[in-house]
A and B are shown apart, each in its own frame.
Chain A
Amino acid sequence: MIPLSYYLTLGALLFGVGMFGALTRRNAIAILMAVELMLNAVNVNFIALSRYLPNSTLDGQVFAIFVITVAAAEAAVGLAIVLGLYRNFKTVNVDEINLMKW
């Protein structure tokens, strides 16, 4: 049997990779992908804990479903924003967009 900590470790690794991507990629779409990776990491933790915690119902899985829902909404709105960016700036590289600069 696989101990719980293995799953949590996998979740942590995925989260770290996603975070690195979100912090470093220039392309806005790549950042969105990295965010999806982080959300997946959270889901892995939710489902693992719902499986391992004593006396747990399937609440963890229900939450994972809500996370997936929010992720889908986020992807739709995020990509719409990316399209809007591209129309206005002719680029999707976030380090070239600094309207809020001092």
Chain B
Amino acid sequence: MTEVFFFALAVFTVAAALLVVLARNIVHSAVALIFSFCGVAGIYVLLDAEFLAAVQVLIYVGGITILLLFAIMLTTRIASGAEVFNEQVGASAVVAVGTTAILIYASLVGIQISGQAPATRETTSTLGRLLLTTHVLPFEVASVLLLAAMVGAIILARREGE
């Protein structure tokens, strides 16, 4: 049963991702990105990471994609018939396929782990405890990073002389 779910989600996710990359209309790309993110969230659920699934939906779907849509609305003339891809499409396709092949080869052959570790119960509270004990320093650094990003974004997006 889970296999069925997995394959359905995987196909859905990759298909949406392909749509993101290939769509001629940038708004279509953004909407496909939402679906792809939701598919990844489903994959997280299959991996017993419910909290991260929720975070994924909240931040990626609810936050980043909306931000992207704003930027699209502010900048692009939608469906402006112009060329979507640059001149290095062919070479890029070869490199991307090659990289993917190598990665798949590595994950099929290079990593031999059979069987799952027992699932951790109460992932959310465990995560919270980890964040505030073992990983408290990176956690604080991340908060500083977010602050810096916020200030940076404001300064960059501000018009001169405002």
Contact = CB atoms under 8 A, between A and B. Distances in A.
Do chains A and B interact in one complex?
A: yes
Interface of A: 1-21, 23-27, 29-30, 32-34, 36-37, 40, 43-44, 47-48, 50-59, 61-62, 64-66, 68-77, 79-84, 86-87, 92-95
B136 to A, nearest CB: 11
A94 to B, nearest CB: 8
B14 to A, nearest CB: 5
Nearest to A17: B17
Interface string B86-123: 11110011011101100110111001011111011001
B142 interface: yes
A52 B67 CA distance: 34
A75 B153 CA distance: 9
Contacts, number: 248
A5 B108 contact: yes
Give chain A's interface secondary structure class: helix
Interface of B: 2-3, 6, 10, 13-14, 17-18, 20-21, 26, 29-30, 33, 36-37, 40, 43-44, 46-49, 51-52, 55-56, 59-60, 63-64, 67-68, 70-72, 74-76, 82-89, 92-93, 95-97, 99-100, 103-104, 106-108, 111, 113-117, 119-120, 123, 126-127, 130-131, 134-135, 138, 142, 145-146, 148-150, 152-154, 156-157, 159
